[in-house]
Structure 1
Amino acid sequence: MKRNSLYLLALFCWLFTQSCTRTGTETASGEAREVWSKKQANAWYDKQGFLIGPNFSPSTAINQLEMWQKESFDTATINRELGWARTIGMNTARVYLHDLLWQQDSLGFLKRIDTFLDIAERHNIRPMLVIFDSVWDPHPKLGKQREPRPHVHNSGWVQSPGYEALRDSTHYPRLERYVKGVIGRFRNDQRVLAWDIWNEPYNLNEGAAYGKQELPNKLTYVLPLLKKSFVWARSVNPDQPVTAAVWAGNWSTHEGLSPIQKVMIEESDIITFHNYGPPQELEERINWLQRYGKPMICTEYMARPNGSTFQSSLPIARKYNVGMINWGFVSGKSQTIYPWDSWEKQYTAEPPVWFHDIFRADGTPYSQAEVDLIKSMTQVKAKAKQ
């Protein structure tokens, strides 16, 4: 009788654990929540203030894997560099995750995300977390990451899911567990600003970088998985908005959007987009997207030689109340001070005009005028560096 009682107690504990796990990863009805209405989206945005920040990876990490893996998770650098963001009034950051990190060590990965969010909260920064990414190297590998190629823009950034996982649907249950597991864990965590489901899902990386290594007919695999990913994300009923940013192409009419672009717009709680063009183009794209009646955040911009600068972009953003997240923050292993054409053109020294990034590794601004403008836009006085 005692053995049976112990068995029943153990069974009850196991069932209770499973029930708690499901509660954290599903709505009460077991169905995905609806896409936010215009009213819901604008009510959320009205509480945020003017959102401004960088796409953030610590200067000591060449890519998402090096940022997050246990052996290279550099909390000292993260804390120092997010402190610099705070001093110039930034209040958000767009930060990339990776599915292989979940496969490698899901519990450890969640713990490191929690640690990161604690550090960000210390500096009054609420990150937007990116789940998948279709840009740069399609063959990610866990473990020690390669060293940067000298003077080459983003020479080690990796896609998620990679070539093999994207083409082989037997990986999709793992990807589903990753999406639900990460978003479910932080679904009502006020330290998280939003969830970006997929970065540039229709980017084919054409050119000298990885175009020839891409999966043939890549978009035929991306489109159905993108749809599934939105469903998986909403199935855990996150308090935060779910979105994916359109980039490139003509968005002047909804009917003219590609199938992938339509999914990105129609499944997003708020509207996000990228623009690396001059101010006239930024304003045009904002005007195109206003037809959806939802708040907007530009989640990538600022390529100085292209005419996309803080000075040209931020006043337009304030005019239309559009959040702004620039690419790059501290010059480091990503080497994004170099332009995209560094994959084809040989650079031997720092370019006279940085492509991206705001600070040098010692915390010195690339341009004092830029950081002064950012401070004035956020109406936050600079604090002494930590």
Structure 2
Amino acid sequence: MALTVSTQAYSPEANAQTLPRWTAEKANAWYGQQRWLVGSNFIPIDAINQFEMWQAGTFNPTEIDRELGYAQGLGMNTMRVFLHNKLYEQDPEGFKTRIDTFLGIAAKHGIRPIFVLFDSCWDPNPALGTQHPPIPGTHNSGWVQSPGTDGLMDESQTPKFKAYVEGIVGRFAKDERILAWDVWNEPDNQGGGNYRQLDEPVKIKAVARLLPQVFDWARGQGPVQPLTSGLWHNDDWSPNGHLNAVETIQLAQSDIISFHNYDWPEILEARIRSLQPYGRPLLLTEYMARGNGSTFDSALPMGRKYNVAMINWGFVVGKTQTNMPWDSWQRPYTTTQPTLWFHDIFQPDGTPYRKAETDQIKRMTAEAEAAFKAHKTQGQ
């Protein structure tokens, strides 16, 4: 039986008119219909951030098709893909059309994406239009937050965010090509990088005000896809853990539980076990940082053992430069390369960084697919 998380960190009255959160039984029934979910966080090599991926002048279906072909070749069946509220404000109908184009390409390759609506990481001052070039040797040097500091601190902008969520989720609420909605990436992350960020308590308070509304807006569109928002830090996510206000909302409102872990396998296993008492499907939506002890070799078998969906960070190395480690913000790798690629799987031409890794992914996804088909056959 799923344990109940207190929702006192936000106002239940505000949720009175929305559709209910999925029951644990419904969430587990949905998960039971899925193949073992394996994929990557995806952005094409020619995009430094969400704007370059999706704006009309830089949206590149040809490149997306090529790279999703690599994913299909590995047996991957999902990708986690970031959207942005300002893209909707800029061109709502064009943005929805480009999402539809992306979904057509993904479906051709057997991939059902998880779309991320908001994000608290990196540049807190997102600006549409031409983006700056990558900072040499620096990890994710152009990634932008959504909505950013200005949007978080200005409550008068809330109606724009509501229109964005309702417009995008409403348009695709019944679209079976989409796996799930991740409503906010690492919402209580202070931001990172060398930017001027909000103080952590200020950001947590602002996000705790907005996050329940985002869940409500999305859920109010009646999506056939589940909603989630991923836990990513603090020591104990168990029902008896010390959760902050944002984490409490995440666990109280997510239909399926997603989380991030870039640590050694024994820490990953402890994280999984701490979340199992909630009785809901578990999706690891960010992992794999070789220099940090998180590798395909150790993490994928752990995910298979516990039936956890596995979505690593980084696919083809490109303008995001996430093969560079996090410390490249303090020490850019401009004259020497890191000893190990931090994230990413493929060179730009599709050559694997480590063939042993791609061989393992292919083997494990093929074994999982065979087991899934056998189970379906036995159930008929």
Which residue of 2 is the match for residue 339 of structure 1? Answer: 325
Q: Distance in 1 between matches of 2:19 and 2:365?
A: 33
Match of residue 239, structure 1, among 224, 237, 244: 224
Which residue of 1 is the match for residue 312 of structure 2? Answer: 326
Which residue of 2 is the match for residue 150 of structure 1? Answer: 136
CA pair 252-147 structure 1, distance change in 2 beyond 3 A: closer
Secondary structure of the equivalent of 1:70? coil
Match of residue 364, structure 2, among 355, 374, 377: 377
Deviation of residue 221 (structure 1)? Answer: 1.0
- Check whether the contact 1:254–1:262 (CA below 8 A) recurs between aligned residues: no
Secondary structure of the equivalent of 1:233? helix
- Check whether the contact 1:250–1:257 (CA below 8 A) recurs between aligned residues: no
| Deviating more after overlay: 255-264 vs 42-51 | 255-264
- 1:281-309 CA-to-partner distances (Å, cap 9, x unmatched) read 11000000000011100000000011100
Q: Distance in 1 between matches of 2:115 and 2:269?
A: 26
Deviation of residue 323 (structure 1)? Answer: 0.2
- 1:38-93 CA-to-partner distances (Å, cap 9, x unmatched) read 11001000111100000000010000011000000011110000000000100000
- 1:105-137 CA-to-partner distances (Å, cap 9, x unmatched) read 000000000000000000000000000000000
Which residue of 2 is the match for residue 253 of structure 1? Answer: 238
TM-score (norm 1): 0.89
Which residue of 1 is the match for residue 178 of structure 2? Answer: 192
Residue 355 (structure 2) pairs with residue 361 (structure 1)? no
- 1:130-172 CA-to-partner distances (Å, cap 9, x unmatched) read 0000000000000011100001000000000011111111110
Instruction: Supply the AA of the counterpart residue of 2:354.
Output: S
- 1:304-340 CA-to-partner distances (Å, cap 9, x unmatched) read 0111000010001000000000000000000000000
Instruction: Supply the AA of the counterpart residue of 1:293.
Output: G
Secondary structure of the equivalent of 1:125? coil
Which residue of 2 is the match for residue 64 of structure 1? Answer: 50
Q: Distance in 1 between matches of 2:284 and 2:147?
A: 24
Deviation of residue 346 (structure 1)? Answer: 3.1
Which residue of 2 is the match for residue 220 of structure 1? Answer: 205
Deviation of residue 252 (structure 1)? Answer: 4.5
Aligned residue pairs: how many? 350
Instruction: Supply the AA of the counterpart residue of 1:145.
Output: Q
Q: What is the root-mean-square deviation of aligned Cα atoms in Å?
A: 1.4
- 1:323-370 CA-to-partner distances (Å, cap 9, x unmatched) read 000000000000000000000013124322100000000000001000
- Check whether the contact 2:281–2:308 (CA below 8 A) recurs between aligned residues: yes
- 1:236-295 CA-to-partner distances (Å, cap 9, x unmatched) read 010000000001112253242111101001100001000000000110000000000111
Q: Distance in 2 between matches of 1:154 and 1:291?
A: 35
Secondary structure of the equivalent of 1:138? coil
Q: Distance in 2 between matches of 1:309 and 1:330?
A: 16
Instruction: Supply the AA of the counterpart residue of 2:36.
Output: F
Which residue of 1 is the match for residue 154 of structure 2? Answer: 168
Listed as ranges, the gaps of 5+ residues in structure 1 are 1-29, 382-386
- Check whether the contact 2:181–2:228 (CA below 8 A) recurs between aligned residues: yes
Q: Distance in 1 between matches of 2:191 and 2:46?
A: 25
Match of residue 286, structure 1, among 269, 272, 275: 272
Instruction: Supply the AA of the counterpart residue of 1:68.
Output: W
Over the matched positions of the two proteins, sequence identity in percent amounts to 53
Q: Distance in 2 between matches of 1:215 and 1:123?
A: 42
Listed as ranges, the gaps of 5+ residues in structure 2 are 1-15, 369-380
Instruction: Supply the AA of the counterpart residue of 1:224.
Output: R
Q: Distance in 1 between matches of 2:29 and 2:19?
A: 17
Q: Distance in 2 between matches of 1:165 and 1:254?
A: 32
Larger radius of gyration: 1
Q: Distance in 2 between matches of 1:102 and 1:354?
A: 34
Q: Distance in 2 between matches of 1:357 and 1:113?
A: 24
Secondary structure of the equivalent of 1:298? strand
- Check whether the contact 1:337–1:350 (CA below 8 A) recurs between aligned residues: no
- Check whether the contact 2:124–2:191 (CA below 8 A) recurs between aligned residues: no
Match of residue 93, structure 1, among 79, 82, 88: 79
Match of residue 203, structure 1, among 155, 174, 189: 189
Instruction: Supply the AA of the counterpart residue of 1:119.
Output: I
Q: Distance in 1 between matches of 2:185 and 2:199?
A: 17
Stretches of 4+ moved more than 4 A in 1? none
